[in-house]
Structure 1
């Protein structure tokens, strides 16, 4: 019976198909902090781009102002002006005046364009010989100009205290001059009775002529002297130029001139 029952009931083997199989990972849901970080990153990028645009606008405006200021600085009548809008209006008015004057090419600057600092530029006079070898100048012709400084009898009068840049240039034909020639910039001040020497250049040379002793009318021995320096001047001081053998001075506004302008009060 035991053997007969065994034959009628065979053994059944069950195979588990899920053995060794791992389920797929569940999708990770974006948390709240992940969304916040994403939005914050987008905001930072947007602000960076906006900042670059704003910076570009400021750079462009600065470039335009710098260009206008450089144009202003190239004009001595506008060196003391800081507002480019005012400068544009002044230039426009100057152009209108030039067009209305027609025949005249010279535009005399108004006091508003000259600025607050004194200055002067004097040109050589047609009769430069003055007393005690004081060179005479022209203050109201061509490029000659004075602003908050006055001129009289070869002397430039200082109206405001400050540090001034002084300069002077002369040109002399020393072909027949064998004595020393001195070019000086002098100052008269209320503190001293005698004139003070600020700058000086000296030349001692005699041109040797040909052995025949015949002097050619075309002989020249040109001597150029330029003096410049910074000095503290007070109101009431006078600045002037002296030159030995002033009769040999070669005429011309570009060969002989003097001037001054305040650097700092």
Structure 2
């Protein structure tokens, strides 16, 4: 090269390939990071609070067990618990009701035109069945199949004594005979007893029972002919129905 001139290299020098500058972070990225961090902090605080409460309960439980109960307080607590249990059983028995309609009447001691009238007292049961005391009838309030039964204890007035159960319904114009039992006493001298110190006669009993479909509003009643009721108590004379 000639003196006084700038020398240039014979080979061009080129810089190596460079990566493009990184893009700036999106605006919401940092906000999401802060939200996640805040949520984690809250969860950690809640977990620590739960552990603290659990530790307090455990400490209180063991502290209560370590303190002995005075004998007087223990005895009083036991008596109170026994009284509560007895009261609960009594209430359950008193509040117990039949699951289905049913009725049972006892101590039938009089008749009107042969229809037995029944006395309602503490041994009687009436549940979803209505009683007409003046007519001696049980009125059905819910349709279904019912078992109808009756037992009477009587003294004979004549040779034939008839015990029957009848049904009254709006579907028919007359009473319907459901059950009947007739007793024939050919030998009036075979069994003699004194009843009310005024009548000598034979004492017998009759039981009737059967299953019938009864509608709402139907009524059933007991009727006797040529016989007089005796021994009027719950074990000797009763009449009832129950849904099956």
Does 2:165 align with 1:165? no
Is contact 1:120–1:145 with CA below 8 Å preserved after alignment? Answer: yes
Corresponding residue for 2:53? none
Greater Cα radius of gyration, structure 1 or 2 = 2
* Structure 2 residue matching 1:160: 3-state secondary structure: coil
Corresponding residue for 1:95? 90
Q: In structure 2, how many angstroms separate the alpha carbons of the residues matched to 1:242 and 1:156?
A: 13
Distance 1:249 1:243, change over 3 A: farther
Q: Which runs of 5+ in 2 are unaligned?
A: 1-83
* Structure 1 residue matching 2:207: 3-state secondary structure: strand
Report matched runs for 1:224-263 at 5 Å: 224-263=205-244
Q: TM-score, normalised by structure 2?
A: 0.56
Does 2:173 align with 1:202? no
Report matched runs for 1:1-265 at 5 Å: 92-95=87-90, 109-110=94-95, 113-125=96-108, 127-130=109-112, 132-139=113-120, 141-152=121-132, 153=134, 154-174=136-156, 177-209=157-189, 217=194, 219-263=200-244
* Structure 1 residue matching 2:167: 3-state secondary structure: strand
| 1:209, distance to aligned residue in structure 2 (A) | 3.6
Per-residue CA deviations over 1:197-221 (Å, capped at 9, x if unaligned) read 00000012143449xxxx8747542
Backbone CA RMSD of aligned residues: 2.7
Q: TM-score, normalised by structure 1?
A: 0.52
Q: In structure 2, how many angstroms separate the alpha carbons of the residues matched to 1:248 and 1:134?
A: 11
Q: In structure 2, how many angstroms separate the alpha carbons of the residues matched to 1:121 and 1:233?
A: 17
Structure (1 or 2) with the greater strand fraction: 2
Is contact 1:171–1:255 with CA below 8 Å preserved after alignment? Answer: yes
Q: Which runs of 5+ in 1 are unaligned?
A: 1-88, 98-106
